[in-house]
Homo-oligomer: A and B are copies of this chain.
């Protein structure tokens, strides 16, 4: 009986508990001369290396929304790092300001990709991270950013774009794309026209990349952000169903890309 109980205790130790503690930390780093400040979150009760997930903020900058997402990712057992694409403290609630900051990166693809890679390096170097198992997720502007990060040939297993614009894959990638791509898209997102969506699908098929796209009926731009409606923009809106479902699909995606490759039968 004693031996049985020990076996059962071992079994239970392997199941997740509700008592894990999430540790967070602001990390200052640089891209060239630009000082940046990101946000790290991980479960302190997990010992050793674990998969790492990079998070890229919306066009507002690194705000509480993406910090909360980083903590949610940490609760899944991964090490999460929300990078900073704009510069230490550059956060806003004004669309005009957000647009200006995002535009500066849209207009310079090289800096855009390198800025994302700078954040990726911080995550990869963290001792809690198994650097062979890293993914990137992003919201809106951040969704576009993780697509661009994939196209840069970054050493990551996959990227997940939540209501990001659909970025055309490079016609001839300078270096092969290693990341699998999961696009989570709102059918009622007016920032992406039907024509743009069809062109994207065609281009992705030609690219030979490993890609999937989920289209959520009735979901607008920004469908994962409960505060989306506060911005007072017609095109954005929270959608609870699409929020919950897209998160579940992301978890399935992580299970695949962070697992050993399935054996051929």
Copies, count: 2
Instruction: Looking at the assembled complex, report how far the CB atom of A205 sits from the nearest CB atom of chain B, in whole angstroms.
Output: 6
Asked if A175 lies at the interface with its beta carbon under 8 angstroms from chain B, I say no
CB distance from A138 to the nearest CB of B (A): 19
Cα A1 to Cα B218 with chains together (Å): 54
Asked whether, in the complex, the Cβ of B215 is within 8 Å of the Cβ of A244, the reply is no
Min Cβ gap A77→B in Å is 18
**A104 interfacial contact with B, CB 8 Å:** no
Give chain B residues whose Cβ lies under 8 Å from the Cβ of A218. 205, 210
Q: How far is the CA of A79 from the CA of B202 in the complex (A)?
A: 39
B8, B187, B212, B245: the one contacting A216 at CB < 8 Å is B212
Interface string of A1-35 (1 = CB under 8 A from B): 11011001101100000000000000000000000
- Inter-subunit contact B213/A215 (CB<8 Å): yes
Interface residue? A48 (CB, 8 A) = no
Interface string of A150-168 (1 = CB under 8 A from B): 0000000000000000000
List B contacts of A204 (CB < 8 A). 187, 217
For A245, the chain B residues whose CB sits under 8 A away are: 212, 252, 256
- Interface flags for A193-237 (1: CB within 8 Å of B; 0: not) read 010011001101100011111111110000000000000000000
CB distance from A184 to the nearest CB of B (A): 10
Which chain B residues border A198 with CB–CB below 8 Å? 194, 197-198
Task: Report how far A255 CA is from B133 CA in the complex, Å.
Answer: 27
Give residues of chain A (65-117) contacting chain B, Cβ–Cβ below 8 Å. none
Give me the interface of A with B, judged by CB distance under 8 Å. 1-2, 4-5, 8-9, 11-12, 181, 187-188, 194, 197-198, 201-202, 204-205, 209-218, 241, 244-245, 248-249, 252, 255-256, 262
Beyond A187-B205, A244-B262, A245-B252, 14 extra complex contacts between A and B, CB < 8 Å: A1-B5, A4-B5, A5-B5, A187-B201, A188-B205, A194-B202, A210-B217, A210-B241, A213-B214, A213-B215, A214-B214, A215-B215, A248-B256, A249-B249
